[in-house]
Structure 1
Amino acid sequence: MGIYIELLKEEDAYELLRFERDNRAFFEQMVPSRGEEYYDWDTFQVRHNELLKEHDDGTSFFYLIRNEEEQLVGRVNLVDINFVERSGHIGYRVGERHVGKGIAYQAVQLLLTEVMQKGIKTIHAKTTKENVASQKVLKRNEFEEEIDNEPFFVHYRWHAK
């Protein structure tokens, strides 16, 4: 399946909220809940604008993952960017109807290419120990597992070649 990533825009708020609501139960099987207030339109819009500000400030990059039909199928982000260390932290999620199609793998590849062009050389990731699919995505994208004593997460690091 062909996909592409595009930077999050102000006009994406409603579509993104619908995507998050539609996939809430699925996502919460793997990651902690974002809380009930996250799904309230007014709260979501404020948070959406905060994400756009982070992008404008250069501290984070937020992308939507779209398929060939331009449907929103997921998200991939680089946050907590440190340009001195040339590092950041990746996060991603793919909607339930679209898992198992290689979308997360492709989206992470696309993000890695984007951020390397911006000078980012090291990317950190973490996933819950139960989220084997996410662990496979990271390993396929050449992330290396890091040792950590945090009981619920597996930590990874990627270095540009």
Structure 2
Amino acid sequence: MVILERLRPDHAEALLAFERENRRYFARSVPDRGDAYFTGFAARHRALLAEQDAGACHFHVVVDEKGELVGRVNLVDVADGCAELGYRIGERAAGRGVATAAVREVSRLAVVTYRLAELTAVTTLDNAASMTVLARTGFTAVGEEIVDGRPGRRYRLRLAGQGLDG
């Protein structure tokens, strides 16, 4: 079972620990956040909460059945009924369907809570796991692009008519 919790101030400590624990793991498939991310984490966390309060983004932590933070899934750049999806699942939870379940749940929230009509996502072509998650959750490839200097692919999910609104 996967539970999404909207990002709150009290998630800061667990989220920082999650990011530290998985830093090397994440760097295998996405650019490293850099040391400044970790040294300035408290201020960054407050800034994310302010963005969320303004409605520009919707940040979530992914919690497992034991209540442990195992990932994050976010909707950013919210505008005109659209948002971009981003997610990270920690190494200990990888390969167990957590990312697929989290993306399905955030897609449902996008419709019923945030009233969005479309999500986009981008991944590198060498991130087979992410491409699989996007395909399993109904996203379709809409174009190629460069992502942090690497070949990538853009995806889209039209939420209307996806059976996510009930």
TM-score scaled by length of structure 2: 0.91
- Deviation at residue 129 of structure 1 after TM alignment: 1.0
1:147 aligns with 2:146: no
* Correspondences of 1:108-147 after superposition (within 5 Å): 108-117=103-112, 118-147=114-143
Provide the secondary structure at the position in 2 that maps to 1:147.
strand
CA distance in 1, matches of 2:116, 2:86: 15
1:81 aligns with 2:78: yes
Provide the secondary structure at the position in 1 that maps to 2:144.
coil
* Correspondences of 1:1-161 after superposition (within 5 Å): 2-40=1-39, 43-82=40-79, 85-117=80-112, 118-150=114-146, 151-160=150-159, 161=161
Distance 1:102 1:46, change over 3 A: same
Q: Tell me which amino acid in the other structure corresponds to 1:39.
A: F
Provide the secondary structure at the position in 2 that maps to 1:120.
coil
Q: Deviations over 1:26-54 (max 9, x none)?
A: 000000111111111xx100000011001
Structure 1: 4+ residue segments shifted above 4 A: none
Provide the secondary structure at the position in 1 that maps to 2:96.
coil
CA distance in 1, matches of 2:49, 2:152: 28
- Deviation at residue 149 of structure 1 after TM alignment: 3.9
Q: Give RMSD over aligned pairs.
A: 0.9
CA distance in 1, matches of 2:6, 2:103: 14
Taking every aligned residue pair, what percent have the same amino acid on both sides? 37
- Deviation at residue 14 of structure 1 after TM alignment: 1.1
Does the CA contact (< 8 Å) of 2:9 and 2:49 recur in 1?
yes
Number of residues paired by the alignment?
156
Q: Which moved more, 1:130-139 or 1:140-149?
A: 140-149
Q: Tell me which amino acid in the other structure corresponds to 2:140.
A: E
Q: Deviations over 1:52-87 (max 9, x none)?
A: 0011000000000001110000000000000xx210
For structure 2, the residue ranges without an aligned partner over 5 or more in a row are: 162-166
TM-score scaled by length of structure 1: 0.94
- Deviation at residue 128 of structure 1 after TM alignment: 1.1
* Residue aligning to 2:164: none
CA distance in 1, matches of 2:157, 2:122: 11
Does the CA contact (< 8 Å) of 2:82 and 2:118 recur in 1?
yes
